[in-house]
């Protein structure tokens, strides 16, 4: 399980240090793709494989399903951790997530998310202001928190 928040900087070549705790769970090779809310999602290979199987079950006759699967998979890239604990984030993914210098790497249960520092700050501030309201809404999902 991934959890926590780490501040890092992406270098001029597009390399990002992955925190040791996350490297243990992600492994030496993992999948990075366009996430939701303007961030990137990183999945260990086992999680990616399970997600791929679920997405294969979506009806290809539905336009929304086709669009989501196309976007999700076309943005995916296999990443390899180098000896310094860094990954090279492809340019298209850096552009999508607006990664320039300051980056926040967070753990979200089964995946890791990579955010531009200012984007995470804005998202986090907005979500924090409605945290209780969100908690009340998810009670309907029968989650005991």
Do 20 and 85 contact (CB within 8 A), yes or no?
yes
Question: Residue 105 has which token pair?
Answer: 């790497």
pLDDT at 138: 79
Note the pLDDT tens digit of each residue in 71-107. 999 999 999 999 999 999 999 999 999 999 999 999 9
Q: Where are the domains of the chain?
A: 2-117
Note the pLDDT tens digit of each residue in 18-34. 999 999 999 999 999 99
pLDDT at 56: 92
List the helix and strand counts (H, then E) for the chain.
6, 8
Side-chain-side CA neighbours of 85 within 13 Å: the count stands at 10
Residue 133 has pLDDT above 60, yes or no: yes
Question: Tell me, what DSSP letter sits at residue 98?
Answer: T
Question: Tell me, what DSSP letter sits at residue 110?
Answer: T
| Nearest residue to 135 (alpha-carbon basis) of 122, 111, 143 | 143
Residue that is written with structure tokens 């997405």 in the block: 55
Question: Tell me, what DSSP letter sits at residue 100?
Answer: S
Which of the following CATH numbers is that of domain 2-117: 3.40.1550.20, 3.40.50.410, 3.40.50.2300, 3.30.230.10? 3.40.1550.20
Q: What is the pTM of this model?
A: 0.92
pLDDT at 143: 61
Residue 137 has pLDDT above 80, yes or no: no
Please classify residue 10 by burial: count the beta carbons closer than 10 Å to its beta carbon, then call 0-12 exposed, 13-18 middle and 19+ buried.
Answer: buried
């Amino acid at each position: 399980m991934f959890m926590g928040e780490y501040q890092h900087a992406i270098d001029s070549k597009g390399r990002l240090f992955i925190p040791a705790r996350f490297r243990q769970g992600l492994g030496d090779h993992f999948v990075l793709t366009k996430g939701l809310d303007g961030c990137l999602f990183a999945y260990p290979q086992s999680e990616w494989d399970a997600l791929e199987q679920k997405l294969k079950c979506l009806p290809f006759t539905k336009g929304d399903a086709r669009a989501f699967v196309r976007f999700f998979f076309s943005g995916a890239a296999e990443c390899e951790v180098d000896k310094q604990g860094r990954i090279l984030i492809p340019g298209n993914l850096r552009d999508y997530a607006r990664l320039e210098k300051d980056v926040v790497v967070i753990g979200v249960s089964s995946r890791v998310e990579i955010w531009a520092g200012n984007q995470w700050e804005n998202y986090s501030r907005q979500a924090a202001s409605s945290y209780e309201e969100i908690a009340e809404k998810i009670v309907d999902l029968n989650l005991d928190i």
